[in-house]
Structure 1
Amino acid sequence: MNAIDGTDRHVKTDDRPPPSLLAIVLDTNPHAWAHLCSTLPLSSAISNLLVFINAHLASGNTNEVAVIASHTHKAEWLYPTPKPPLPARSRNGTSSTNGSNGTSSEDSNVPENPNKYRQFAVVENAILSNVGKLLNSTTESDLASTPTTQVSGALSLALSYIAKSALLHSPVDSLGTDNPLSALADSETTHQARETLTSRILIVSVSGDLANQYIPVMNSIFAAQRKRIPIDILKLAGDTVLLQQASDATGGVYMKPERPEGLLQYLMMAFLPDATARRSLVMPSAGGVDFRAACFCHRKVVDIGFVCSVCLSIFCTPELPSNLCLTCGSYLSLRSAHTATPALIPRKKKKKKRVGGTDSATPGPGTPAGSGTPVHT
């Protein structure tokens, strides 16, 4: 047709930026927020976080967001709210629900407000209601069980959600299958034009050491590194070695502000650009990174440890039960390898050779004496 009518037709390509998925892990540890209540209360932090989420959603109409709470005893979804299990069907094939029309509970419970964008109101209502339910369901026994937070579980939920969203953004065969996700997973090796999804994880942390979760957190870091998902860290309080390593290994941004009350400013200036925009920007760096590891026996960060030659597990002491590795069960001879620190022998000073029977350090008759610095007049 192009040769007949003499027109030059070009195929239009979509030059819009790819959709961006932001998974936020919010540390809701009551112990840590109690120390920050005078500087930055949890309510103010959530308000600043909602403004940041709205800015991310407003950056593109295809942008998505997921918020996960890392609590003391569990990791809980804040947005999107998990759907309840499907109702059981009776023998005649009808559902046993009481007049449910299948509409989303998040959209139906949001009051109408003409001065607010609908999507912003849905996200805000879901996050505030789920945070309130999480805090009300926390008992004294949950707070007394551990002073840390379940970051490892929250990271696993974020990575699983990102992997599922990446599959849903891929094209689905028009023939239709019973399980489109499995069909997409089987077609990973085929050459198809897929819509790229830019994903990243932001952890807003206020808790201290997480050495007791060293193994699951490192597994999540390796999974994010393999999928090229950067992990950004905003450390409002405390200090953890694992989060520094997570940011450095995945190419994320690590920031520990001196004034936590400026949370919104740090979020908007340092963590709003996605991976596509960061190629044209100079992002802040964490400086020195602590690469120490935690032992597998007591979950403590160690400077010097003993490594299993089979599974590379790290131990802080050679005194293992029956000299067996606690991870793989291999026999280890750590006690024989652990010896006392050898004593340092002082090195003997070499005597200088004598020239003409005199010491070379003393100028002889044939050696001109050193002159002073010449003075210009």
Structure 2
Amino acid sequence: MGDKMQDDDGPSDSSLLVIIVDTNPNQRYITEDPKVLTGCLDAVIAFANSHLMQKSRNLLGVIGCHFHKSEYLYPSPGKPLDVRQIDGQYELFTLVEKTIKMRLVNLIKSQPQEDKPGESLLAGALAMALCFISRMRREATPGLRMSSRILIVTGSSDTAAQYINYMNVFFTAQKQQVLIDVCSLDKHLSLLQQGCDITGGLYLKVPSLEGLLQYLLVSTILCSNPYY
């Protein structure tokens, strides 16, 4: 796949969206009410499925970011799940939901119990996302026009400790024509907003977690459907 694919006029044949979900337990909204994470995750999954629904060739990747490591939540590198239609959902949508939730539980359970939660490894998760995008581009059908974006959903604060790593990832994404979008669930994130500005992505600070899915969908529509 050529790096100039997004410069061509007209819509792409396929859109690859990689969502990075910050699951660090020291995020303020989780420490205040751990159950809120479930609602946020449901909103992210619904948004991911809406992306897949737009075009049959659209692709998806989801990465869970914790304080001790980051892992792919979808697609799963392990054994395929038993997929069945549930309440009329498409089998693919059911697979996405079941895989993400199953692997997220495994990610949380794998955290060292003796370690105190530290900073979320978002810069490393971004690097993983770029690697995933590069691989999907290499494996794509010759001639397929694919646009690529990364969406970060986080309630963590900015951290100067990862500044150099962030800048390296931001400029790598810019070079590869990958847009970085950020959805902040808590504080304003000036460092991550720089990543949006550098790559031409979107920055959204949601005023209410209850309407997370609506904010994601509306921001996408108002910005001329960048995911589609």
Q: TM-score scaled by structure 1? A: 0.54
Higher strand proportion (structure 1 or 2): 2
SS of the residue 2:172 aligns to: helix
Q: Which runs of 5+ in 2 are unaligned?
A: 1-9
- Amino acid paired to 2:139: L
Higher helix proportion (structure 1 or 2): 2
- Amino acid paired to 1:136: K
Question: Does 1:129 find its partner at 2:124?
Answer: no
CA-CA distance at 1:228 after TM superposition: 1.3
SS of the residue 1:106 aligns to: coil
Q: In structure 2, how many angstroms separate the alpha carbons of the residues matched to 1:244 and 1:234?
A: 10
Q: 1:196 to 1:208 in 2, by over 3 A?
A: same
Contact kept in structure 2, 1:234 and 1:256, CA below 8 Å: yes
Q: In structure 2, how many angstroms separate the alpha carbons of the residues matched to 1:139 and 1:165?
A: 32
Q: 1:167 to 1:152 in 2, by over 3 A?
A: same
| Residue 207 of structure 1, aligned match among 156, 178, 197 | 156
Question: Does 1:163 find its partner at 2:129?
Answer: no
- Amino acid paired to 2:105: G
Question: Does 1:47 find its partner at 2:42?
Answer: yes
| Residue 193 of structure 2, aligned match among 219, 241, 244 | 244
The alignment's C-alpha RMSD in Å is 2.3
Contact kept in structure 2, 1:19 and 1:197, CA below 8 Å: yes
Question: Does 1:57 find its partner at 2:52?
Answer: yes
Question: Does 1:117 find its partner at 2:90?
Answer: yes
Alignment of 1:42-191 (within 5 A): 42-83=37-78, 105-107=79-81, 109-113=82-86, 115-142=88-115, 144=116, 146=118, 148-171=119-142
The higher radius of gyration belongs to 1
SS of the residue 2:20 aligns to: strand
Question: Does 1:270 find its partner at 2:219?
Answer: yes
Corresponding residue number in structure 2 for 1:339: none
- Amino acid paired to 2:80: E
Q: In structure 2, how many angstroms separate the alpha carbons of the residues matched to 1:273 and 1:80?
A: 29
SS of the residue 1:213 aligns to: helix
Corresponding residue number in structure 2 for 1:37: 33
Q: 1:139 to 1:145 in 2, by over 3 A?
A: same
What is the number of residues matched between the two proteins?
217
Contact kept in structure 2, 1:52 and 1:272, CA below 8 Å: no
Contact kept in structure 2, 1:81 and 1:106, CA below 8 Å: yes
Return the structure number with greater relative CO, CA threshold 8 A, min gap 6.
2
Q: 1:145 to 1:59 in 2, by over 3 A?
A: closer
Deviations, residues 301-341 of structure 1 (Å, cap 9, x unaligned): xxxxxxxxxxxxxxxxxxxxxxxxxxxxxxxxxxxxxxxxx
SS of the residue 2:47 aligns to: helix
Q: Which runs of 5+ in 1 are unaligned?
A: 1-14, 84-104, 172-193, 280-377
| Residue 259 of structure 1, aligned match among 201, 204, 208 | 208
Q: In structure 1, how many angstroms separate the alpha carbons of the residues matched to 2:41 and 2:140?
A: 29
Q: TM-score scaled by structure 2? A: 0.87
Question: Does 1:195 find its partner at 2:190?
Answer: no
Q: In structure 2, how many angstroms separate the alpha carbons of the residues matched to 1:119 and 1:37?
A: 31
